[in-house]
Amino acid sequence: MSALLSERVSAIKALAHPTRLQIAEILSVETTCVSQIHEQVGGDLSTVSKHLSIMRQAGWLTCHKKGLQVHYTLACACLDDFFRCIDSLSHPSDCC
């Protein structure tokens, strides 16, 4: 497998979880901190942090510290377009 193909697989795998998709949707609206993401997705805080780490390692997110809080930003502005394209799979005539 080529390096490029391997990177694509890793990036797609990093989104292939319901919680990570929910995190991507949250961050497509605004930059926010871990505690706010946790409030919206629920579950264990350490699990949410692990999901954020996976997404960051795959390149989907960037982060920066503000005081004691870590704020996450979606690194890929075209992810919304990707989601719309995926959503259109159930309606092939709507595909981009």
Residue 6: HSE in the Cβ half-sphere, 13 Å Cα cutoff: 3
d(CA 44, CA 67): 23
d(CA 79, CA 32): 17
Q: What is the pLDDT of residue 85?
A: 87
pLDDT tens-digit map of 66-94: 899 999 999 988 888 888 888 888 876 65
Catalogue all structural domains in the chain, each as residue range(s) with its CATH number: 3-94 (1.10.10.10)
Q: What is the pLDDT of residue 12?
A: 93
Residue (of 2, 7, 8, 42) closest to 22 by Cα position:
42
Residue 62: HSE in the Cβ half-sphere, 13 Å Cα cutoff: 6
pLDDT tens-digit map of 7-66: 999 999 999 999 999 999 999 999 999 999 999 999 999 999 999 999 999 999 999 998
